Amino acid sequence: MLSVRDAEAIILNLVQPLDPQRDIEIIDLLAADHRILSTPVTSQLDFPHWDNSAMDGYAVRYEDVQHSSDAQPTSLEIIEEIPAGYQPQSTLQPGQAARIFTGAVMPTGADTVVMQEKTRREENRVFILAAPQEQEFVRHKGAFYQGGKQLLPRGVKLHPPEIAVLAAAQCAKLSVYRRPRVAIFSSGDELVTADQILQPGQIVDSNQYALAALVREAGAEPLLLGIVKDHPDALREAIAYAITHADIVLSSGGVSVGDYDYIDQILESLEAKIHIQSVAISPGKPLTVATFPTPHSPLPTPHSPIYFGLPGNPVSAMVTFWRFVQPAMGKLSGLAGGWEPEFLKVRSHHELKSNGKRETYVWGSLHLIDGVYEFHKAGGSRSSGNLINLAQTNALAVLPVGTTLISPQAEVQVLRVALG
């Protein structure tokens, strides 16, 4: 059976990122949060755009004020007042100063700003009470960024700080990668939707709802194909549709070794290449990963979608999504990097156990205790059939193959799976 690491490597190797020329859309900066830049951004503007004052005070010529002190203040004539947003009208001559405010443009002739706390005002004269540093409190044109250089590279995910930068650079419209499209369906004769009346033996297809939310959280667009009966014809039709309409296909259920688990044989009949059939992970062992030979997708860049046949158990489906599908989606989405899962070393509050045979993921939550993260495993049964205690999960503790026990207060690696 494949190790988790090997499975991850195979999957990431199968993923072809979206095309930065074709798989793009132009969007408004106001709608850019969480989108990924598909083109590097360059601005022609310098930052700051012009020499400006970092203080409320007086723009002066350093030469005039370099010997100022409390005992021997320099007296200067105020020739102009320059608030932020105005173009100075005059040029400073020896013996002159301009009243200036934070962010206002430096007048020609001035090279230094004296903060107002180090001055005394008498009508149209100002007394400089201390010698400033030469060029003090002047923000020079281009000191933060010079026009023409790259401002942001391709593949960056846009968050409020990048959006502020892009706004300042007047990038009101942006080219970003389109959202990956992820087709989702569930297979199982026992499944109904959340709004149907349950008959004996039926359960709700919770995976469809969970996977749709996970896909959206990962920045992609879910294409919900509903519940498909455990019947080869129905499954074949669903899979054939899904692989021509999505970048990634997620099915859940039907990949185990039961009599009604048809997915793998249908994939084979569709000429899929099956790369993975099971992984040494708990929960989640039955995991199918496949690709298809012919790109027949109507999407802008026709490429072969990756098929993930996730286990039907709700916990297994989510764990395998977090561990394998999410990184694949990150790479596919055009992100320049950082899609690999991030493991943190934290303290375990509880004793954690595994049979040591498969890499084991224990669901639970991280808590900040005196500034140190502590992992608390979820209460109740750790059965992959128990989805109830999955609520509030924001981390999975990982017990590697061969580790059967982690004692309370001992260090454990965790995979963060949700923020907050």
How near is the Cβ of 208 to ligand AMP at its closest, in Å? 6
The Cα 65–Cα 71 span in angstroms is: 13
Nearest residue to the partner ligand AMP, using Cβ: 312
Which residue, 78 or 204, is less far from Mg ion as judged by CB? Answer: 204
Q: Considering CB distances under 5 to 8 angstroms, the limit depending on partner class, which of Mg ion, ligand AMP, none binds residue 38?
A: none
Q: Considering CB distances under 5 to 8 angstroms, the limit depending on partner class, which of Mg ion, ligand AMP, none binds residue 107?
A: none
How near is the Cβ of 312 to ligand AMP at its closest, in Å? 2
Q: Considering CB distances under 5 to 8 angstroms, the limit depending on partner class, which of ligand AMP, Mg ion, none binds residue 359?
A: none
Which residue, 249 or 399, is less far from Mg ion as judged by CB? Answer: 249
How near is the Cβ of 186 to ligand AMP at its closest, in Å? 3
CA 153 to the chain's CA centroid:
15
Contact positions toward ligand AMP, by CB under 6 A?
Answer: 186, 188, 190-191, 203, 205-208, 252-254, 256, 258, 311-314
How near is the Cβ of 197 to Mg ion at its closest, in Å? 21
Q: Helix, strand or coil for residue 412?
A: strand
Which residue, 270 or 387, is less far from ligand AMP as judged by CB? Answer: 387
Question: Residue 334: which residues within 8 A CB-CB, separation 6 or more?
Answer: 17, 18, 20, 23, 36, 38, 154, 155, 177
How near is the Cβ of 239 to Mg ion at its closest, in Å? 15
- Of 231, 223, 237, 227, the closest CA to residue 207 belongs to 227
Residue showing tokens 């201390």: 130
Burial letters for 131-144: b for 16+ Cβ neighbours within 10 Å, e otherwise? bbeeebbbbebeee
Q: Considering CB distances under 5 to 8 angstroms, the limit depending on partner class, which of Mg ion, ligand AMP, none binds residue 314?
A: ligand AMP
Which residue type does 100 have?
I
The Cα 171–Cα 181 span in angstroms is: 26
Which residue, 87 or 199, is less far from ligand AMP as judged by CB? Answer: 199
Which residue, 27 or 387, is less far from Mg ion as judged by CB? Answer: 387
Which residue, 1 or 164, is less far from ligand AMP as judged by CB? Answer: 1
Residue 413 DSSP label:
E
Which residue, 285 or 350, is less far from ligand AMP as judged by CB? Answer: 285
Q: Helix, strand or coil for residue 341?
A: coil
How near is the Cβ of 5 to ligand AMP at its closest, in Å? 24
Q: Considering CB distances under 5 to 8 angstroms, the limit depending on partner class, which of ligand AMP, Mg ion, none binds residue 190?
A: ligand AMP
Given 3-state DSSP classes, what are the helix, strand and coil percentages for the chain, each rounded to the nearest 5? Answer: 20, 35, 45
Contact positions toward Mg ion, by CB under 5 A?
Answer: 188, 253, 312
Characterize the bridge pairing of strands 191-192 and 203-204. Answer: parallel
Q: List Cα–Cα distances, 390 to 219, 310, 364, 377, in angstroms.
A: 22, 17, 7, 10
Q: Considering CB distances under 5 to 8 angstroms, the limit depending on partner class, which of ligand AMP, Mg ion, none binds residue 205?
A: ligand AMP
Q: Helix, strand or coil for residue 409?
A: coil
How near is the Cβ of 256 to Mg ion at its closest, in Å? 7
